[in-house]
Amino acid sequence: MNDPKNPDPGDKHIDASDLALIDVTPEQMLKFIKIREGVAKAIANLKRLTPEQIDRAGLNAGDVQRALDIADEHRQLDAMVPAAEKLAEMLIETRAARGHDLAMLLGEIASQARRRGQRDPKGPEILGPLEDLFAYQYGPAQKSAATRAKSSSPAEQNPPSQSTG
C-alpha cells in the first residue's frame, strides 16, 4: 500500500491533513506571483546559509526559515497535486459511468414494466406504483412531442390546396 501522505497518481487515498489548505477565488489566483524556473537553486542557496551569513547579510532569520518552510510545503503540494487531479478525474469519470449504467437500467426496467402492463389485464395495478419511474423515463420525450405539436404552424396542420392556374 502506498503512503497516503506521498500518493501516486491513481491512488484512492490521499492524506493532506498535515497541510494548511486554503480556498481562493479565481480573481485572487490571477493576482498571485508565480514562481519561476530556478527556484530550487534559490531555495538551496538559502538552505546553505549559516546563521553568521544570515546575520552578516542583514537578513531576518525568521523570514529565511519561513521561506524554507513554505518551500517544503510547496514541494509536498507539488507531489500531491498529480495524485489529487487523477483521483478527481477518476471520481468524475466513475460518476459519469455509473450515471450511464443507472440510466440504461432505468430505461430497461421502465420498458419491461410498460410491456407487462400493456399485456396484463391488471395493467393499471402494475403500472401505478411505477408512475414516478415512467415520469422520469418518458417525461422528456412527452414534453418534446408536446413542444413540437405546439410549435407546428397552422399552415402545416392545414396545407393549402394547390391550384393550377
Domain map (residue ranges) of the chain:
26-147
Sign of torsion over alpha carbons 49, 55, 58, 59:
positive
- Predicted local distance difference test score (pLDDT) of residue 6: 81
- Predicted local distance difference test score (pLDDT) of residue 145: 76
Across 16-20, 86-90, 140-144, the highest mean pLDDT is recorded for 86-90
- pLDDT tens per residue across span 34-54: 999 999 999 999 999 999 999
pLDDT bin (cut points 50, 70, 90) of residue 164 is low
- Predicted local distance difference test score (pLDDT) of residue 154: 58
Reference 67, options 84, 37, 42; nearest CA is 42
pLDDT-above-90 percentage for the chain? 59
Sign of torsion over alpha carbons 149, 151, 153, 159:
negative
116 or 13: whose pLDDT is higher? 116
Q: What is the 3-state secondary structure (H, E, C) of the chain?
A: CCCCCCCCCCCCCCCCCCCCCCCCCHHHHHHCCCCCCCHHHHHHHHHHCCHHHHHHCCCCHHHHHHHHHHHHHHHHHHHHHHHHHHHHHHHHHHHHHHHHHHHHHHHHHHHHHHHHHHHCCCHHHHHHHHHHHHHHHHHHHHHHHHHHHHHCCHHHHCCCCCCCC
28 or 148: whose pLDDT is higher? 28
Report d(CA 111, CA 117) in Å as an integer: 10
- pLDDT tens per residue across span 100-155: 999 999 999 999 999 998 898 888 888 899 999 999 998 877 777 777 788 875 55
Reference 53, options 42, 64, 40; nearest CA is 64
Q: Kindly give, in sequence order, each residue whose CB lies less than 8 Å from that of residue 77, ignoring residues fewer than 6 positions away.
A: 19
